[in-house]
Every structure is written in structure tokens, then in C-alpha cells.
Amino acid sequence: MSMETLGILVGLFVVMLVLKKVMTGKTISGAEARSLVESGAVLVDVRTPEEFSSGHIKGAKNIPASEIDQRASELPKDKPVVVYCRSGARSGRARSILVSKGYQDVHNLGPMGAWSS
């Protein structure tokens, strides 16, 4: 492999890391998420309905990531929103979609398991 090819690959890797960070945003801790929800934030589980029915955080609203673009209007823009999923990938994408729709106070908990940590 030439140095030029290696440089291109490294550059693409860096771009991918930056894009991932921009798309998912900073994740918050379980303690931060619980505090936000206790103060009135809306908690949104972006997993599938099947995943949601097999267990979810008490009080969470289920809007699957695949539907968040069409159903964003179900969420208030005047309250913080906390999103979560199984691993953090779908909640990161959901956060980005909500931000692009004008939601200014959206937080990514990441995986559901982070709630209790």
C-alpha cells in the first residue's frame, strides 16, 4: 500500500469519526437523564414496538427511529427530550433528526442500560 493510499484511508477514517460524533451528539449519563425527566423532559424509546413491549423505561413514549421524522410533531418543542435505544446508534440518529426539525434541547442517553448506571 502506498503512502498516498494510506493517507486517504486515514483521512476517511477521521471523517467517519467526526460524522459519527456530529450525528449522535454527546451522550448523557443515566443520572443526567433521570434528572432531566424528573424535571419534565420527555423520555422517548426509539426502538421497535416489539423491543419496547419486551421492556422499557417507565414513562417512556415509543416512537421508533424509523418513524421519528414523520412523528416528531408528537413531541413538544418547549421541553427537553431524552432519547434512547438498545446501543445508542438509533437514538443518535433520532436526536439528529429532531435537532434538524428545530428541537433545541434533545439529549441522547444512548443504550437503555445507561439509565440505571
Candidates 41, 81, 85, 98; catalytic one: 85
Backbone phi, psi, residue 114, to 5° = -70, -20
Q: Is 35 a catalytic residue?
A: no
Backbone phi, psi, residue 106, to 5° = -115, 130
Q: Which residues of 58-86 are buried (b: 16+ CB within 10 A; e: fewer)?
A: eebeebbbeebeeebeebeeeebbbbbbb
Sign of the Cα torsion 99, 13, 65, 55 reads negative
Active site residues: 85
